[in-house]
């Protein structure tokens, strides 16, 4: 193994000695019978490309560790088709919280260590192509030159999945975010037309990446990467296989247009882009649309394949329910999955929701302690008569939820709802009332899931505190000791 590429895992010989490592490094299986043992060498029979495919399934550091097995295996890892450049596991809350709490100088030093490691890996890579290229670390525009080279490397390798998952010390908006390298595309920032797709440069018009990379690109996931609407349109127009696009904390994104049946895009996710003002999706083959952020102007037209919509806002707007149904009106008749954050939206009994005839899965984030919370829940149940699964996220106001007086809601018999999940359960009276109302009115109910975790809280590490843990434990005790006794034996009861 090359210097600097230290493996993080070792191959441990099983205790039953069914396997052994010979001096050559080959791993051989011992077939046992009553009288003798026969050593069968299977791995050496595999073609190199098959072994490379297997090694590509391993985490990168473990893949590099396979170079110790034998001379033949020494360079297999360097042809891996998956470059998931994960130096540490940021999905672990404690690890992420640790990095947030570091001094800026120390965090920057670790950033340089990460950059050196990535550069070392890329220098040793021998494969002609890669399926996935992902970087994830605390990096900003101070590391622009290195990240630009990584992007260039990925495109030259005809990458299929390109992920720049950059993190910031504050976990939110940052004007120092890395900006995508326009010049590598033969573009100048802001030069492309914002009015027509015909004004967006194509690969044939010049630029470094003529005929390189874009024909293979299927997935783009950017976090804390500065991109504009023009750049997004460039990707949509020049990447014929691009089906998934995810942009999170894209500080330069103001207007986004997805227009035309020739565009391959099917899954669009836009989250926390604070300067975004307008999204237009027209004559497109979009199947799933996820939006999380401030109120925007959303224009949908001729999107017959759109069946999965998520709309989470971060500010309070009293008329949000009316607004969102107006914006989604072109797809309401065929939508199957709908996820909404309606906290802060005032319930108006005179506003009748449109019928969602094809809706199968509804997820609502609600104010559980409002006096009209059950009445609004009933209105959604009426609007989705064929709903089969309901996920209810229970949020609470600043005032004490124990003093809230929830008004009784009229009966709303539902004949198709089979599964209910209550997320963020805390054992308050208003929570119990929601559970009891659903148990009583969902006549076909088969399963009730009580989930203490609040799915809408991003795992940034800040929520991982003693108070939250105590709340969840108390809620768990209440759900097991009290709520479970209220459930009939015909309903499967699960407490997560």
Compute the distance between CA of residue 484 and CA of residue 463 in angstroms, rounded to an integer.
27
* List of E strands, 344-462: 361-367, 389-395, 419-423, 447-451
- Which residues on adjacent β-strands are paired with residue 313? 293
Q: Which of 301, 305, 162, 150 is nearest to 242 (CA)?
A: 162
Compute the distance between CA of residue 471 and CA of residue 457 in angstroms, rounded to an integer.
15
Task: Quote the crossing angle between the two packed helices 373-383 and 429-441, to the nearest 10°.
Answer: 30
Q: 321: exposed, middle or buried (C-beta count within 10 Å: 0-12, 13-18, 19+)?
A: buried
pLDDT in tens, 121-143: 898 888 888 899 999 999 999 99
Q: Give SS3 for 227.
A: coil
For the entire predicted model, the pTM comes to 0.82
In contact, 234 and 259? CB cutoff 8 Å: no
Compute the distance between CA of residue 435 and CA of residue 455 in angstroms, rounded to an integer.
18
Compute the distance between CA of residue 307 and CA of residue 359 in angstroms, rounded to an integer.
9
Q: Per-domain residue ranges for the chain?
A: 19-75, 360-496
Compute the distance between CA of residue 411 and CA of residue 427 in angstroms, rounded to an integer.
23
Q: Which of 480, 420, 485 is nearest to 446 (CA)?
A: 420
Check residue 370 and report its DSSP letter.
S
Compute the distance between CA of residue 416 and CA of residue 356 in angstroms, rounded to an integer.
13
pLDDT tens by residue, the chain, 496 residues: 444 444 333 323 333 333 343 434 444 444 455 455 556 656 656 665 666 666 656 666 666 666 556 666 655 666 677 888 888 888 777 888 888 888 889 999 999 999 998 998 898 888 888 899 999 999 999 999 999 999 999 999 999 999 999 998 876 777 899 999 988 777 766 554 333 334 444 444 444 444 456 789 999 999 999 999 999 999 999 999 999 999 999 999 999 999 999 999 999 999 999 999 999 999 999 999 999 999 999 999 999 999 999 999 888 888 999 999 999 999 999 999 999 999 988 888 888 999 999 999 999 999 998 888 999 999 999 999 999 999 999 988 755 444 456 667 778 999 999 999 999 999 899 999 999 999 999 999 999 999 988 766 543 433 444 456 678 888 888 889 889 999 999 999 999 8
In this structure, the dihedral spanned by the alpha carbons of residues 256, 260, 262 and 268, taken in order and rounded to 10 degrees, is 40
pLDDT in tens, 291-339: 999 999 999 999 999 999 999 988 888 899 999 999 999 999 999 999 9
């Amino acid at each position: 193994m090359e210097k600097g590429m230290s493996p993080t895992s070792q191959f441990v010989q099983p205790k039953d000695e069914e396997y052994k490592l010979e001096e050559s490094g080959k791993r051989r299986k011992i077939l046992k019978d009553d009288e003798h043992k026969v050593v069968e060498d299977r791995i050496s029979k595999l073609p190199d490309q098959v072994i490379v495919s297997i090694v590509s399934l391993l985490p990168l550091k473990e893949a590099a560790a396979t170079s110790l097995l034998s001379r033949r295996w020494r360079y297999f890892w360097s042809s891996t088709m998956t470059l998931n450049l994960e130096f540490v596991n940021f999905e672990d809350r404690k690890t992420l919280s640790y990095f947030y709490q570091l001094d800026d100088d120390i965090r920057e030093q670790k950033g340089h260590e990460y950059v050196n490691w990535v550069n070392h890996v890329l220098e040793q890579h021998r494969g002609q192509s890669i399926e996935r290229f992902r970087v994830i670390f605390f990096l900003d525009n101070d590391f622009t030159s290195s990240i630009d080279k990584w992007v260039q490397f990925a495109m030259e390798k005809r990458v299929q999945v390109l992920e720049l998952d950059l993190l910031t010390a504050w976990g939110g908006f940052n004007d120092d975010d890395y900006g995508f390298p326009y010049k590598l595309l033969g573009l100048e920032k802001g030069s492309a037309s914002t009015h027509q797709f015909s004004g967006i440069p194509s690969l044939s018009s010049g630029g470094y990446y003529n005929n390189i990379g874009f024909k293979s690109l299927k997935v783009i996931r950017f976090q804390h990467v500065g991109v504009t609407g023009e750049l997004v349109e460039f990707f949509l127009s020049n990447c014929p296989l691009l089906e998934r696009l995810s942009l999170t904390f894209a500080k330069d994104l103001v207007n986004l247009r997805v227009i035309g049946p020739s565009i391959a895009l099917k899954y669009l996710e836009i989250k926390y882009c604070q300067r975004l003002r307008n999204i237009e999706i027209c004559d497109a083959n979009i199947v799933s649309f996820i939006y999380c952020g401030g109120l925007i102007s959303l224009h949908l037209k001729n999107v017959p394949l759109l069946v999965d919509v998520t709309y989470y806002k971060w500010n309070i707007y009293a008329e949000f329910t009316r607004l969102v149904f107006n914006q989604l009106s072109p797809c309401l008749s065929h939508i199957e999955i709908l996820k909404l954050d309606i906290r802060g939206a005032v319930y108006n009994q005179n506003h009748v929701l449109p019928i969602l005839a094809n809706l199968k899965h509804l997820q609502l984030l609600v104010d559980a302690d409002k006096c009209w919370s059950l009445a609004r829940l009933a209105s959604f149940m009426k609007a989705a008569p064929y709903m089969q699964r309901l996920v209810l996220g229970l949020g609470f106001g600043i005032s004490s939820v124990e003093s809230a007086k929830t008004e009784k809601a009229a009966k709303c018999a539902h004949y198709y709802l089979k599964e209910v999940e209550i997320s963020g359960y805390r054992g308050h009276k208003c929570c119990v009332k929601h559970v009891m109302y659903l148990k009583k009115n969902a006549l076909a109910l088969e399963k009730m899931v009580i989930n203490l975790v609040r799915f809408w809280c991003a795992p940034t590490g800040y929520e991982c505190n003693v108070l939250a843990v105590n709340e969840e434990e108390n809620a768990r005790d209440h759900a097991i000791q009290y709520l479970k006794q209220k459930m009939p034996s015909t309903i499967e009861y699960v407490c997560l």
